[in-house]
C-alpha cells in the first residue's frame, strides 16, 4: 500500500481530520500526521489562522518540511487547506515523491521556484463556490498546475464551504466528503 504524509488545516488536528487519516489507514495505507500546531486546535477558522500568523506561516511551512526528514522519500504528500503549503512544497521539491493530494488549497507552482514534476500524479479538490478556494486564486493556481502535470485531476464539488471534508466541523458536507474520500482512496490505490 501507499505511505502518506498528511498535513492538517488551520483548525489543527481536529477529530474530523484524524478520522480522515484513520479511514486511509483502515484501507491499508500508512499515514503520518505531524502536528504543526503543537497540540492546539481551534473552534473557528479565523482563530486558527490568527494562531498560524503568530507562529509564522514560514515557520509552519518549515515544520512541515522537517516532518519529512525522518521518513522515506517515496511518499504521497497530502494536505487540507493550510496543510497544502508543506504538502505541495514537498511534492514539488523533494525527490522521490509518489503523488500529491491538495485539498481546498493550491499554490502557484512558481511559489517553490521549480516547475511541477512532469510525471508526478496530483489531485486537487475544492468546492466550486468556496470563497477561499475559488475566490482567492487557489482554483486558478490549480488549473495552471494541472496544465503542466501529465497526470492530474481537478475535482470541484458544488457548494461554498471551506473545510467541507472535516466531519467534526460545522462546514462538513457529508456527500462531498464521501466522494472526496472515495476519489482519494482510488488515487492511492493506483499509486500503491
3-class secondary-structure state, position 116: coil
- Give the angle 136-142-148 at the CA atoms, nearest 5°: 145
DSSP secondary structure string for all residues of 25-78: HHTT-EEE---TTTT---SSHHHHHHHHHHH-HHHHHHHHHHHTTTS-S--EEE
Q: Which CATH number fits the domain that encloses residue 49?
A: 3.40.50.1820
Mean pLDDT of the region 157-173:
98
For residue 77, count CB atoms less than 10 angstroms from its CB and return exposed for 0-12, middle for 13-18, buried for 19 or more: buried
pTM of the model: 0.97
Residue 179 confidence class, pLDDT cut points 50, 70, 90: very high
Q: Which domain holds residue 14?
A: 3-191
- Give percent above pLDDT 90 in the chain: 98
State the first-to-last Cα distance of the chain, in angstroms, to the nearest integer. Answer: 5
Helix (H, G, I), strand (E, B) or coil at 123: strand
pLDDT of residue 118: 86
Q: Total domain count for the chain?
A: 1
Q: What's phi and psi for 135, nearest 5 deg?
A: -100, -10
Whole-angstrom Cα distance, residue 109 to residue 89?
9
Which 3 state secondary structure label does DSSP give 6?
Answer: strand
Strand order in the sheet with 152-157: 30-32, 3-7, 76-80, 99-103, 122-127, 152-157
pLDDT tens by residue, 85-136: 999 999 999 999 999 999 999 999 999 999 999 899 999 999 999 999 999 9
Amino acid at each position: 500500500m501507499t505511505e502518506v504524509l498528511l498535513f492538517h488545516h488551520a483548525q489543527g488536528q481536529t477529530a474530523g481530520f484524524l478520522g480522515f487519516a484513520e479511514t486511509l489507514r483502515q484501507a491499508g495505507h500508512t499515514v503520518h500526521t505531524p502536528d504543526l500546531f503543537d497540540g492546539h486546535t481551534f473552534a473557528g477558522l479565523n482563530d486558527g489562522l490568527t494562531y498560524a500568523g503568530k507562529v509564522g506561516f514560514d515557520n509552519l511551512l518549515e515544520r512541515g518540511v522537517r516532518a519529512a526528514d525522518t521518513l522515506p522519500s517515496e511518499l504521497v504528500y497530502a494536505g487540507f487547506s493550510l496543510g497544502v503549503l508543506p504538502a505541495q512544497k514537498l511534492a514539488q521539491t523533494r525527490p522521490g515523491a509518489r503523488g500529491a493530494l491538495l485539498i481546498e488549497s493550491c499554490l502557484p507552482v512558481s511559489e517553490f521556484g521549480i516547475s511541477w514534476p512532469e510525471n508526478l500524479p496530483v489531485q486537487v479538490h475544492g468546492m466550486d463556490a468556496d470563497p477561499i478556494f475559488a475566490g482567492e486564486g487557489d482554483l486558478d493556481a490549480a488549473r495552471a498546475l494541472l496544465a503542466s502535470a501529465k497526470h492530474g485531476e481537478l475535482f470541484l464539488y458544488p457548494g461554498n464551504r471551506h473545510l467541507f471534508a472535516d466531519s467534526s466541523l460545522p462546514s462538513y458536507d457529508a456527500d462531498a466528503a464521501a466522494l472526496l474520500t472515495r476519489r482519494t482512496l482510488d488515487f492511492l490505490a493506483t499509486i500503491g
